[in-house]
Amino acid sequence: MSARVVIVGAGYAGVSAAKRLARGRSGVTPDVTIVNPRADFVERIRLHQYLAGNRAATLPLSSVLPRSTTFVPGSAETIDVAPNGALLVDETLVSVGASTVVGAGDASRIEPAPIRMSCQAAVPLGAHAAETVLHLIAGTTPKPVRPKFVGQCISLGRKAGMMQRTTSDDVPTSFRITGKPGALLKEQICTSTVKYGLNPDRAWMSYSWS
């Protein structure tokens, strides 16, 4: 079975969805196109988050997209959204106003329990959105999202940072790592997101919230 899938936006969620769709499912081989205003992965990457200075850098989309995915520059308009501009989706990530539209990442809002903006959420939500698309193509029922947060982290300059452990539903616990160890951990989290979570050559790796 073949189907055409268009992904609007090439952020963490969009690239994660493209990566998962490229793997397909038994009997389902979607033709994937990703639409984004720029040919770069996110607008820019702040190098100070990697303890490497305060410059900005770009990462070409071609380095993170699966080879079978087509990139088209452009934008999308005229779709019903919430007052804050987010696409309203249910717990399976299907739009509440259009059954053929699936949303994930910072541009969507899960009803009735919104999830905070973060790459920690965007990557698995992108993969889950792809799973939902494959279910819809196959005519089966998509699974609801089951958040599995592990922590919250913040960079406090080149030599300090903090990572605080959370429950799976994102409630902070008393365990935390601060100072230089916290900064190094934050650096590893940032780099591993692209190096492992979105690397098309590591399609076998999956951080699932199914």
Q: How many other CB atoms are found less than 10 A from the CB of residue 186? A: 22
The pLDDT assigned to 165 comes to 96
Mean pLDDT of 150-171: 91
Contact 133, 21 (CB under 8 A): yes
Q: What is the DSSP letter of 52?
A: S
Residue 79 lies in a domain: yes
Q: Is the pLDDT of residue 149 over 60?
A: yes
At 33, phi and psi to the nearest 5? -125, 135
Residue 43: inside a domain: yes
In a domain, 31, yes or no: yes
Check: CB of residue 70 under 8 Å from CB of residue 34.
Answer: yes
Q: Is position 172 within any domain? A: no
| Cα 198 from chain centroid (whole Å) | 9
Is residue 69 one of the residues assigned to a domain? yes
Q: What is the predicted pLDDT for the residue at 204?
A: 52
CB 110 within 8 A of CB 104: no
Does the pLDDT of residue 1 top 70, yes or no? no
pTM over the 0.95 mark: no
Is pLDDT of 94 > 80?
Answer: yes
Rounded to whole angstroms, the Cα distance separating 27 from 189 reads 35
Q: Does 8 map to a domain? A: yes
Q: What CATH code is carried by the domain that includes residue 133?
A: 3.50.50.60
Rounded distance between C-alpha atoms, residue 138 and residue 17, angstroms: 17
Q: How confident is the model at residue 10 (pLDDT cuts 50, 70, 90)?
A: confident
In a domain, residue 88? The reply is: yes
49 is in which domain, residue-wise? 2-145
Angle between helices 12-23 and 119-138 (to 10 degrees): 40
* Strand bridging mode 29-36 / 2-8: parallel
Q: For the stretch 117-133, what's the b/e string if a residue is b when 16 or more beta carbons lie within 10 angstroms of its beta carbon? A: ebbbbbbbbbbbbbbbb
Residue 187 within any structural domain of the chain: no
Residue 47 pLDDT exceeds 80: no
Q: How many domains is the chain partitioned into structurally?
A: 1
Q: Give me 2's structure tokens.
A: 């073949």
